[in-house]
Amino acid sequence: MYRYASYWVIQIYTTTGYGDIVAKSFGEMIMCIIIMIMSKMPVVFIMGHLTSTQTNKRVLQKAYEEKLETIKTYMKQERIPTKIQKRVMEFYSYRWNRTNGTDAENLFKDINTCLKTEILSSICENTLKNDQLFIEYPSPFLRELCTRMIIRCFPIGEFIYRKGDVGTGMYLLLIGDVKICEDSRGSKISQCLCAGTSFGHEFLMKRTLFKDTAIAENYVDVAILSKESFEAVGLLYPSIMRKLLKEASSL
């Protein structure tokens, strides 16, 4: 009897409707109706959720495609070289695949400062601590530095900076690998950096020209701390800043 009861409930719940077991009494009919209604509710909920998700994704994708068309039109009108156009499109393609076009800088702008600090610290603080310049400094100072960082993504083979460009700050390598090259074209590799390392901290101290070239060996995410942001945090922590500058001069 229990086997038949289980079989009947599953049949009604899934609305298969073989018809080999039918309700004979009024009570059984009421039970069938209740089970049928209950079976439809999760199906309707799941279908509604999937439809809403797909609709939102299509809206985002349409807006992103319109932005790409605007960029394409502008580059053609300005006669931007084809190679540069290709690099631009590869960048936006990677950005869409990586984040669905989400702008990381504006993603958490509506949440409270403390929570935003926690989020950015969880992304950047451990990598920042790995740098010999920041390894011994207190967490509040490092957390404040993390809130001033800008996250950027680079597709395979894209230049992060080139030899001779003005150094604007320090880079934390969050995801991927970077080739450091001696020449501006990136043909003479001097070293390779992996995720969790940092480079360019000397540009926090003074604004000079890059002496090498950094290229994304694969898909790369970096957090950039500019010289201006570093100095702004230093005004909030003057004693730490004096100690840090003294140590930096000896490196």
Render pLDDT for 126-167 as a digit per residue (tens, 0 to 9). 888 888 888 888 989 999 999 999 989 898 999 999 999 998
Q: Is 19 left (phi over 0), alpha (psi -120 to 50) or beta?
A: left
Specify whether 220 is located in the same domain as 115.
yes
Give residues with Cβ within 8 angstroms of 168, minimum separation 6.
Answer: 203, 207, 224, 226, 227
Specify whether 28 is located in the same domain as 122.
no
Give the residue from 98, 217, 212, 220 showing the smallest Cα distance to 157: 217
Question: Which pTM was predicted?
Answer: 0.70
Residue 95 confidence (pLDDT) above 90: no
Expressed as residue numbers, the domain containing 89 is: 65-99
Residue 52, in any domain of the structure:
yes
Number of domains present in the structure of the chain: 3
pLDDT tens column, 59-83: 777 878 888 889 999 999 999 999 9
Give the residue from 52, 51, 61 showing the smallest Cα distance to 100: 61
Instruction: State how far the Cα of 189 lies from the Cα of 180, in Å rounded to an integer.
Output: 6
- Which pairing describes strands 178-181 and 213-216: parallel, antiparallel, or unpaired? antiparallel
Q: How confident is the model at residue 104 (pLDDT cuts 50, 70, 90)?
A: low
- Token pair for 140: 């509040």
Residue 53 confidence (pLDDT) above 80: no
* CA angle at 81 for the pair 79 and 85, rounded to the nearest 5°: 100
Specify whether 122 is located in the same domain as 49.
no
Tokens 């390894």 sit at which residue?
135
Specify whether 37 is located in the same domain as 84.
no
Residue 217, in any domain of the structure:
yes
Residue 31: exposure state from Cβ atoms within 10 A (0-12, 13-18, ≥19): middle
Give the residue from 171, 122, 156, 158 showing the smallest Cα distance to 142: 122
Specify whether 135 is located in the same domain as 180.
yes
- The region of weakest confidence among 155-159, 198-202, 235-239 is 198-202
- Token pair for 180: 């450091």
Residue 104, in any domain of the structure:
no
